[in-house]
Amino acid sequence: MDLAFFTNFSASLTAQEAELNTLQEEISSGVAVQTPEQNPSAFETALIGNDQLSALNGDTTSLGDIQGQLGDVSNGYTSVLSEISDVQQLVLGALNGTTSNQNMQSLATQVSAAEQQMLGIANTTGSNGTFLFGGTRGTVQPFQEQPDGSVVYMGDGGQSQAEISSDLSASTIATGEAFISGLQGDGTASVTAASTNTGTGVLLSDGVGNPTAATAFQQGNEPITVSFTTSGTGGVIYTATQTSSAGVTTTLATGPATSGTSLTLGGVDFQLTGTPAAGDSFTISPSRPQSVFTLLSNITTTLQTAGSTPAAAAITRQNLNQDLSALDQYQQTVTTAQAQTGVTLQSLSKTSASNATQETEVQNNVDTTIGTNFPAALTALDQNTTAVEAAMKAFSTVQNLSLFSVI
């Protein structure tokens, strides 16, 4: 018997079975090119595409982490603005002129509670466990209350930039700047009434009248004193003076001190309300930064110590009006910080959407390059299966022939 028949049949059957296995693997995995030998060009294209997908997936993960962290920061700012708004309403209530001492104490309690709420917000941690407003010192509680009730910032002003894509970097942290950088008074000047005042005068800021002069005053260190004396006709006049660092005192303005009198001092427009008495005085100082905790503590103290006499009530109104202006400063500061965070989040969102589009395009290209053509593969599998079955049947038939058996 010629053994070549068996050898050739066996080799052919082995090759067909190998082809069947390959087709079955392609169909089950969805990948037609699994080794460089199958299609070198397609395999290399797929490798490059998969590297791109890995990079994009890494970017997406980083984006998600940063978006989550900055989203928490933005929510923190929203809570801060809510607390500021609540305190503004409490101060306005205290300024309505009909609040009793008992109500003042109640308002003081509410402002004190708001300060504690603010401290809690400032010490919020993100989903990764780090403090949101500590700068690069995210593992240290940024705002720590001292035995005397003051609050100290233990964070820093450091920034951390993460590369999100080839052309975009984003800050991954926030600092406590929004809680400590607000300015006293209207942001240019802060007015303090002398504790010995006996009149009912209140000196209110009406805004900046001369921006250049206001900037120079705010950046300087020379306060202005507005004092009141009796005029020769028995009325009350004011005199505004400023003493330089060299000790030279200059008279800036003088005139009748009546309710409604307008003054422009240090580039700021002021209006005098009420009736000041001879011997009263106000000090206009350049605005300096104060933490929001100091501001809220000052408001609490003012409400707690509010007097019942007309003169004491005027001093309370003076202090509360200054604090109300300072609250406005903080409202602007926090709103600006939140807007900056919002811009970053918007950029991250756009980048995330772009990455998703790129991932889809690259994945489609990889699938097209090495992916299984299911209709063709299923047809080939069916044909090869039929061929193998036919070959096996033919071989069996030949084996059973009596003549073939004898041979």
**What tens digit of pLDDT does each residue of 70-87 get?**
889 999 999 999 999 999
Please give the DSSP secondary-structure letter assigned to residue 182.
Answer: P
* Neighbouring C-alpha atoms within 13 Å toward the C-beta of 112: 12
For 313-316, the CB contacts below 8 A with 24+ separation are 313/97, 313/200, 314/193, 314/197, 314/199, 314/200, 314/201, 314/202, 314/274, 315/193, 315/195, 315/197, 316/94
Give the pLDDT confidence of 32-54 residue by residue, as tens digits: 556 665 556 655 555 565 555 45
Tokens 């989903």 found at: 127
* CA atoms of 290 and 223, how far apart (whole Å): 17
* pLDDT given at position 66: 79
CA 24 from centre of chain: 53
* pLDDT given at position 100: 85
Residues (pLDDT < 50) of the chain are 1, 53, 56, 60-61, 377, 402-404, 406
* pLDDT given at position 277: 97
Please choose, from the candidates 244, 188, 173, 242, the residue with its C-alpha nearest in 3D space to the C-alpha of residue 219: 188
* pLDDT given at position 1: 45
Taking CA atoms, 319 is separated from 123, 194, 268, in Å, by 29, 11, 18
Q: Which domains does the chain have, with CATH numbers?
A: 31-182+290-371 (1.20.1330.10), 189-288 (no CATH)
